[in-house]
Structure 1
């Protein structure tokens, strides 16, 4: 039961000098595929629209910033 794997984003494999485009079918050896999967570069969800990938990134929110602390003076007033 082999599932097709697709590039999750554009990336280049420095070892094999191959380039992959987001949504492109990735046809590589089992060892290379294991490395790509571990790095999160491929998935089995099928080709996705670039807008969908951007929407996922923009919907995540960062943690709220901490309020700034007031600075305490080390000088004593006379």
Structure 2
């Protein structure tokens, strides 16, 4: 299962929403018997976005560059619960 779009706010009152949405994806994937979730994101700058996904249990798989835009694919393995 691929998390296609996740856009969060940097507003303090939105803190934790991204993690909650990823946890929801974990539950839905588990219900469907899916064992892996994947995301890709911007990997430039400070690398904070990649670090965020890593802090949520995702591991780096493949890095890529599209016309100077550095990206990173990450994956999280789940235990199937279906």
Q: TM-score range with shorter-chain normalisation?
A: under 0.3
Which structure's residues are more often strand, by fraction? 2
Q: Which has the higher helix share?
A: 2
Q: Which has the higher contact order (CA 8 A, sep 6+)?
A: 2
